[in-house]
Amino acid sequence: MNAVPFDAIKAARRLSDLGLSAEKLPKHIAIIMDGNGRWAKARGFPRIEGHRRGVRSVRETIEECAELGLEQLTLYCLSSENWKRPQRELDMLMRLLEQYLVEERSEIMRQDLRFAVIGRREGLSDGVLREVAKTVEISRNNRGTRLCLAVNYGGRQELVDAFRRIATRLCDGSLTVDAIDEEQIAEHLDTAGMPDPDLVIRTAGEMRMSNYLLWQASYAEFWVTSKCWPEFRPTDLHDALRDYANRERRFGGLSR
């Protein structure tokens, strides 16, 4: 399937209609997709139904970010702590993720998305690992929004892995202690080469980071909605973008 080329003029018009401008957009949005299980339970559905319904929110949010020209969208799909959940739910999540990768691959190519995954591969099913590898490879030369899925991911876990990589380089002499700085640490994270998130969105009203991009999100703006993830729509994304555009980001400095 041929990719739909990004239309900057069309995107600028849409942004104008939304009361936004490209200059005020975040380069990178990271989302904590919370509340799937609670949404399902409140309606008498099994928890996995909430995850299924959440796929629609994923699809619509990705498409909207691509059309608006955002550089990167990172979605928190499965945390390293989620393995504590019932095995049946975990098995269903693996199957749902594998199904998503297969069914949405044509859309990823049509929207010219660059696909990436962060997090440890241990524990993921063979099917998920196979489809992840296929999607990363086939989208390698795309030039649109980078779609990054955080799967079996935890911020502290990522830092431990980064420090182990640095320690290995110290031992083999390819890195010196004096050379270790913030840039070196960032280069050894799962997100090496990616911009830090400017905006973190969380659904279901929770006011915590949940071990998500702890290093990268140190200066990110935080936006929370009481809606559960299956209820999240592009209009909610627009509200978050407007709120972000009206904030002054001082990065520890003084107001201008």
Task: For the chain, state the CA radius of gyration.
Answer: 19
Q: Which residues pair with 201 in a beta bridge?
A: 31, 223
106, two tokens: 């044509």
Within 13 Å, how many C-alpha atoms sit on residue 239's CB side?
A: 13
User: Which residues, 6 or more positions from 180, have their beta carbon under 8 angstroms from its beta carbon?
Assistant: 166
Give the N- to C-terminal CA distance of the chain in Å, as an integer.
Answer: 48
User: Which residues, 6 or more positions from 121, have their beta carbon under 8 angstroms from its beta carbon?
Assistant: 129, 152
Say how far apart CA 27 and CA 56 lie, in whole Å: 23
79, two tokens: 């945390």
* 172 and 142 Cβ atoms separated by less than 8 Å: no
DSSP state of 71: S
Active site residues: 34, 82
Burial class (CB in 10 A: 0-12, 13-18, 19+), 123: middle
Say how far apart CA 202 and CA 81 lie, in whole Å: 17
User: Which residues, 6 or more positions from 107, have their beta carbon under 8 angstroms from its beta carbon?
Assistant: 59, 63
Q: Which amino acid is at 34?
A: D
